[in-house]
Structure 1
Amino acid sequence: MKGLFCRAGVSDAQPKFVIQEMTLPDVLGSHQVRVQVKACGLSPLDLKLLADVGIQRDLIPVGREVAGVVLQVGPKVKFFQPEDEVVGVLPLDSPCSGLCDVIDVDEHYLVQKPEKLSSVCVASALRDGLCAYTALHTHAHMAAGHTLLVVDGASSFGLMVTQLACYHGVKVLTTSHSPQNHTFLEQLRPSVGVQDPLLARVIPVYNGSSELLPLVLEETGGLGVDIVIDSGVHLLEEEESEDMKLHLHKHDIISALAVGGHWVTSHQDLQLDPPDCRLLHLKSASVSFLNPEVWTASSAQQGRYLHILKDIVEKMSTGVLRPQPEEAVSIYEATVAMETVQRRQKKKAVVQL
C-alpha cells in the first residue's frame, strides 16, 4: 500500500513529496477504525508548526482531510459500524497518509457523512468550514444583528465564512480582489428561502483600498463593523508584491472596527505598532489568531470539535454551506498537485481515490 509523504528540505530548500510504501498493523487498536479512503483534501504543510509541537520526522504524511467508508472497527469503538460513511481530519501526529487506500484512525477524529454529500465535496471543503466555524463562533462570538467584514469573500474560506454568517443573521460586507470576483460576489444568493443577495456590500480593492473605510462607515452608520476576518494582512507600506497589494493594511482593518469589535487574523507574524495598539485600546477591541490546527493539536475540547464537524457536514448536505466546486485529480497526479499547493500557487486540491 502506497501513500504520499513529505521529505522536508534542508535549510531553505523546498520540501520534496515522495510516494512511499506503508503497511498497517494486523490488529486494530481498541478505539481505532479502519477506513477505505474515497477522497482526500490537500492543504499546505506548516513545517514550522510541526517543529514547534515537537513532530520531527524524516517523512511527514501528507493529506489529512479524508472521506471514506468504514471497513473494520476496534473492540471498544462505540460510534461506528462497518460500511458507515465517515469524514474527518487526521491528527497532526498521524502515521498514515490520507492518500493511502486504507488507513487506521481513532474514532474520535471522525463523524458520520450524510449520504447525499459527495466525498470529494466534503474532503475539499472541510478545512475551510472548520476555519469559518472557529473564526465566527469560537473567536468572534458571532450573534444575529452583528456586522461582519470578510476580506476576499470569493476565496473558498471567505465564501464559507459569508454563508455561515448570513445563516445566523449577520450583515456581511466583503472585499473583492478582481472584477470577476466582484461579479461573482454580487450574484450570491441563498440556496433556500428568500433569494435576497447574501452580501450587503461588495467593496472592490483591486485598484487600492482607499474607498474601504468610507464605504464601511457608510454601511454601518459611522459605527464600524463588529467583526473583521482576514485572509492575510499588509503590514508595511513598502511591501509591493502582487499578493500583498490585495491584502488590507492593518491600520485599515483596525480603523474599520466598531467599539468592542473583534479582529480574527490568519497572519501568523502579525506585528502591531504602539499607535495600532492605542487605537485598539481606545475601541476596546480585540485581536484573535486563527490556527486551524488547534482542535487536533489539543484534545481539551474534543467533544466540541466533533460537534463542529458534524454541524459543518450537515449544513453542507442541506445546502446552507455551498463550497466552491473543486475538480478532483487522480492519485497519479497527487505529487504534482501537492507541490503546487505547497508553493501557494493553488490554495488547495482534492484527490479522488
Structure 2
Amino acid sequence: MKGLYYQQNATALEDMFFLQEMDNVSPPSDYHVKLQVKACALSPINTKLVSEVMLEKESVPVGREVAGVIMEVGSKVSFFQQDDDVVGILPLDSQESGLSEVLWIHEHNLVLKPEKISWVEAAGAVRDGLSAYTALHFLAHLGPGKSVLIMDGASPFGALAVQLSQHTGAMVIATAYNHEDKQYLEKLKPSLARVLDLSKSKVDLAEACLEETGGLGVDIVIDAGVILYKSENSITKSQPLPHKHDIITLLSVGSHWVTREENLQLDPPDSHSLFLKGATVSFLNNEIWNLSNAQQGKYLHILSDIYIKRQHLNVFWPQLDEPVPLYEAKVVMEMVQKNETRKKQVVQL
C-alpha cells in the first residue's frame, strides 16, 4: 500500500515528493474509523507552515482531502456506521497519506457524503469550499445586498466563492487572468455584475469597482495575493496581481478585506485610510480549523453545509480537471506545487 510524501529538506522540486510503501497501521484510538479511500484531491503545500509546525519531521504525508467508504468503526465512534460514505480533511499532523487505499481517521474529521455527489466532486470541493465559506461567512459576514470582489474568480477557490456569494444574494465582481477565465465567469448563471480581465493593462481595478458601486466602494474583497511595493513588478508573480493601494482605494465604509497574502505589510498611511473607512483586514489561513479544536462543532457544520448546498441548492460546483490515476500522482503534485494547474486535481483510487 503506497502513499505520497513531502520531503522537507529536499534541495530540488523533483526530490520534494516521493511514493513510499506504508505498513498496515493499527487504529490509533477507539474514536477512529477505517476508511477505504475512493478519491483524494491535491492542493499546494504551505512549506513554510509545515516547517514551523512539524520541525522534527523529515517527511510529511501528502493528500489530505479524501472521500471514501467506512470499512470499520472504533468502539466509541458515535457519528458513523460501517459502509457510510464520508468526506473530510486529514489533520495537519496526520501520519498517513490520503493517497493510500486504506487509512485510519478520527471521526471528528469527517462528515457524511450525499449519495448523489460523486467521489471526485466530493474530494475536489471540500478544501476550497471550506476556505470560501470561512472567508465569506466566518470572516467577512456575507449577507444579501452586499457587493463582493473576488480576485481570480475562475480558480478552484474563486469559483466556489463566486457561487456562494451569488447564492447569498450578493452583487459579485470577479477578476480574470486570461480570456478563458473571463469566458468561464461570463457564462455563470446568474450573471455576475462585472468580470474584469486583469491581463489587459488598460483595466483599472479600483476605478472599475468604484464605477460599478456608484462610487461607494466594495463591501467585501477576497484577494488572491497583492503587490506590496511600487518597485515590485507583477510580472515576477505567477498571475497579474493588484497593488495593495488599489484594494484599499476600492473598499467601502465598514468593509471587510480578506487577504491570502500572509506577508501583508501596511504602512501608516495605509492603516490611516483603513481607519477612516472603518474597514477590517482579515487573514485567510486554510489551516485555521486544523490548528485548533476550539470550534470543532462549527468546523463540522461548515463541512456538512457545503454538501447540503451542493446537493439541494446547486452551489459548490468545483472546478475539476480530469481524474488522475494513482501512478501519476507524484508528477501532478509537482505541477500543483509549482502552480502550473488551473483546475482542481483529484486522484481517483
Q: TM tier, shorter chain?
A: over 0.9
Task: Assess if the C-alpha contact under 8 Å between 2:130 and 2:302 holds in 1.
Answer: yes
How far apart, CA to CA, are the structure 2 residues paired with 1:113 and 1:22? 27
* Equivalent pair of 2:320/2:345 in contact (CA under 8 Å): no
Could you give the per-residue CA deviations for residues 204-247 of structure 1, whole angstroms, max 9, x where no partner exists?
22123652222211221211011000111112223332536611
Are 2:327 and 1:327 aligned? no
More displaced 10-residue stretch of structure 1: 266-275 or 298-307: 266-275
Give distance in 1, aligned partners of 2:180 and 2:225: 20
Please give the alpha-carbon distance, in whole angstroms, between the structure 2 residues aligned to 1:90 and 1:308: 16
Say if 2:179 is the partner of 1:186.
no
Unaligned runs of at least 5 residues, structure 1: 190-195
CA distances 1:257-293 after superposition (whole Å, capped 9, x unpaired): 0011110000111111222111111111111000011
Q: Distance in 2 between matches of 1:281 and 1:339?
A: 42
The answer as to whether partners of 2:217 and 2:250 remain within 8 angstroms in 1 is yes
Name the CA distance, whole Å, in 1 between partners of 2:239 and 2:302: 34
Q: Which amino acid aligns with 2:96?
A: C
The answer to whether structure 1 residue 341 and structure 2 residue 336 are counterparts is yes
Quick check: 1:317 aligned with 2:304?
no
1:281 to 275, 285, 294: 275
Number of positions where the alignment pairs a residue of Structure 1 with one of Structure 2: 345
Match of 1:231 in 2: 224
Gaps of 5+ in 2: none
For the structure 1 residues 208 and 96, does the alpha-carbon distance in structure 2 shift closer, same or farther, using more than 3 Å as the test?
A: same
Matched, 1:45 2:45: yes
- Higher deviation after alignment, 340-349 or 72-81: 340-349
Deviation at 1:125, TM superposition (A): 2.0
Q: 1:278 to 1:29 in 2, by over 3 A?
A: same
Q: 1: CA distance between counterparts of 2:264 and 2:67?
A: 34
Equivalent positions of 1:128-139 (< 5 A) are 128-139=128-139
Q: SS in structure 2 opposite 1:324?
A: coil
Rounded to whole Å, the distance in 1 between the matches of 2:182 and 2:339 is 22
**Residue 96 of structure 1: aligned partner:** 96
Deviation at 1:343, TM superposition (A): 1.9
- Contact 1:28 1:74 (8 Å CA) reproduced: no
CA contact (8 A) 2:320 2:346 kept: no
State how far apart, in whole Å, the 1-side matches of 2:54 and 2:320 are. 35
Tell me the distance in 2 between the aligned counterparts of 1:223 and 1:27.
56
Q: Is the 8 A contact 1:55 1:93 kept in 2?
A: no
Q: In structure 2, what residue type is equivalent to 1:349?
A: Q
Give the CA deviation at 1:183.
2.1
Matched, 1:303 2:300: no
From the superposition, tell whether residues 268 and 331 of structure 1 become closer, same or farther in structure 2 (CA, over 3 Å). Answer: same
TM-score by length of 2: 0.94
The answer on whether the counterparts of 1:260 and 1:283 sit within 8 Å (CA) in structure 2 is yes
Which residue does the alignment assign to 2:2? 2
Identify which of 206, 210, 216 aligns with 1:213: 206
Query: Is the contact between residue 121 and residue 326 of structure 1 (CA under 8 Å) also seen in structure 2?
Result: no
200-209 or 305-314, which deviates more:
200-209
Q: What is the percentage of aligned positions where both structures have the same residue?
A: 51
Q: CA deviation at 1:117?
A: 0.4
Instruction: Please report the TM-score for the alignment, with normalisation by the length of structure 1.
Output: 0.93
Cα contact 1:50–1:56 (8 A) shared by 2:
no
Which secondary structure state, in structure 2, belongs to the residue aligned with residue 5 of structure 1? strand
Q: CA-atom RMSD, angstroms? A: 1.6
Describe the SS at the equivalent of 1:340: helix
